[in-house]
Amino acid sequence: MKFDQKDLKIIRSLQRDARTNFADIAKECNVSIDTVIKRFNRLKKNGIVKGTTILLNPRLLDYECIASFEVDVDPGELASFAVQVRKQKGIIFCTPTVGIHNLFAVAVQHDMKELSTLKENLKAFPHVRDIQTSIWVDDILLCPENFELTNLIKGD
């Protein structure tokens, strides 16, 4: 699909603030508002943009404890174990991984006690050999703008 400077500008503006007025983006790109709307819809239709969302601070929603787990589980049981992990309360992300451990999961919990219960529950699953926990402290820094997009522009 065609992807040019204008598409890039639209995505960059919305990455910084998804509620940016299309009129402002239009001015920045030197095109009409209709063009911006058309392009945004095209980006969605082409599957490059899946949607927009707000970013919440879990700690201010009473999820004080945020932690990641790295789990060692018997390789043959990995897929079914991952399904079980996703069902656990507070698990917001879970994926099989390649590396020293074979599963990576992130959890948000109200307090340490809840976190420890979750870890015990995970450990109690058959075929789980070891769990390594990292508790996230301080601010979680996010930078959605770090995606490289310029390499998508061809012949520009």
Partner 1 sequence: MDKVDSKILEELTKDARTSFRKIAKMVDKSPDTIINHYEKLQEKGLIRGSTVIINLRSINYEGLAAFQIDVSTDKSKKIDINKILETLIKMPNIIMATKTVGDHDLLAIGVIHDFDHMMKINEEISEIKGIRDIQTALWASGEEICSKYFIV
Q: Which residues here bind partner 1, judged by CB under 8 A?
A: 11, 14-19, 46-58, 60-61, 67-68, 70, 92-101, 104, 106, 108, 132-144, 146-149, 151-152
Neighbours of 84 (CB within 10 A): 14
- Give the C-alpha distances (Å, rounded to integers) separating 14 from 17, 38, 90: 5, 15, 29
In the bound complex, what is the minimum distance in angstroms from residue 88's beta carbon to partner 1?
13
The first and second tokens of residue 145, run together, are 């703008």
Neighbours of 91 (CB within 10 A): 18
In the bound complex, what is the minimum distance in angstroms from residue 64's beta carbon to partner 1?
13
For partner 1, the closer CB: 93 or 127 = 93
Q: Please list, in sequence order, all residues whose beta carbon lies within 8 angstroms of the beta carbon of residue 23, skipping any fewer than 6 positions away.
A: 33
For partner 1, the closer CB: 76 or 99 = 99
For partner 1, the closer CB: 98 or 124 = 98
For partner 1, the closer CB: 32 or 61 = 61
> 3 and 153 in contact (C-beta within 8 Å)?
yes
In the bound complex, what is the minimum distance in angstroms from residue 30's beta carbon to partner 1?
21
